Amino acid sequence: MFKVKVLDIVPLLMTLGVITLFSVYAYGDSHASLQVRIQTPEGEFLYPLDREADLLMSGPLGETHIHIADGSVWVEDSPCKQKICVRSGKLRKAGTWLACLPNRVFVHVEGKDEEEVDAAAF
97-100 and 105-110 strand pairing: antiparallel
Asked whether the CA dihedral 104, 105, 109, 110 is positive or negative, the reply is positive
The whole-angstrom separation of Cα 51 and Cα 43 is: 21
Superfamily for domain range 30-114: N-utilization substance G protein NusG, insert domain (2.60.320.10)
The domain locations on the chain are 30-114
End-to-end CA distance of the chain: 65
pLDDT at 120: 59
Higher pLDDT, 13 or 56: 56
Backbone angles phi, psi at 87, to 5 degrees: -75, -5
The whole-angstrom separation of Cα 58 and Cα 91 is: 20
Give tens-digit pLDDT for 102-115. Answer: 999 999 999 876 55
pLDDT band with cut points at 50, 70 and 90 for residue 65: very high
pLDDT band with cut points at 50, 70 and 90 for residue 39: very high
pLDDT at 121: 55
Asked whether the CA dihedral 25, 29, 35, 36 is positive or negative, the reply is positive
